[in-house]
Amino acid sequence: MADQSLTSDRYRQGMVTRRSVLGDAHVDRACANETPFDQPFQEMITEGAWGTVWSRPHFSKRERSIVTIALLAALGQDEEVAMHIRATANTGATKEDIQEALLHVAIYAGVPAANHAFKIAKSVYAGMEASAATEEDTK
């Protein structure tokens, strides 16, 4: 992780936003896996994606989540689709929101892209529901 004394305000805001969307565990894993090779990339996405775009006030995190998932699905970015669907637990985007977004993907980016994204979403939601049920059972 970048040295706090050397980071920009945008980086610090990006980390706050990134953690609020993806969760501390995900961000901590990403930071722990950072190497000198990808450290400039991690700084760039933290400042650019999270500190600039995701931190803008006009769209809510829910709206950004929906748009992001639709774009990632259209581009066939499977791992990112799954990660952002998991993040809906933090952004407030519902299964119905994602369903609507993926229907848009089918029309504007193609049925195969949407079909694959629906498969990913179903799998991720099943895992999230199983995890939530396990947590309830242990209470």
The Cα angle at residue 76 between residues 97 and 39, in degrees rounded to 5: 100
Residue 134's pLDDT band (cuts 50, 70, 90)? confident
Residue 2's pLDDT band (cuts 50, 70, 90)? low
- H-helix segments, the chain: 9-22, 24-32, 39-45, 61-75, 78-91, 95-109, 111-137
Tell me if residue 23 falls in helix, strand or coil: coil
Q: What is the mean pLDDT of the chain?
A: 94
> Rounded to whole angstroms, how far apart are CA atoms 58 and 84?
20
47-63 pLDDT tens trace: 999 999 999 999 999 99
Looking at residue 133, its pLDDT comes to: 85
Helical (H) or strand (E) element with 109: helix 95-109
Percent of the chain with pLDDT over 90: 88
Domains and CATH numbers, the chain: 1-58 (no CATH), 59-139 (1.20.1290.10)
Looking at residue 4, its pLDDT comes to: 53
Looking at residue 6, its pLDDT comes to: 62
Looking at residue 35, its pLDDT comes to: 96
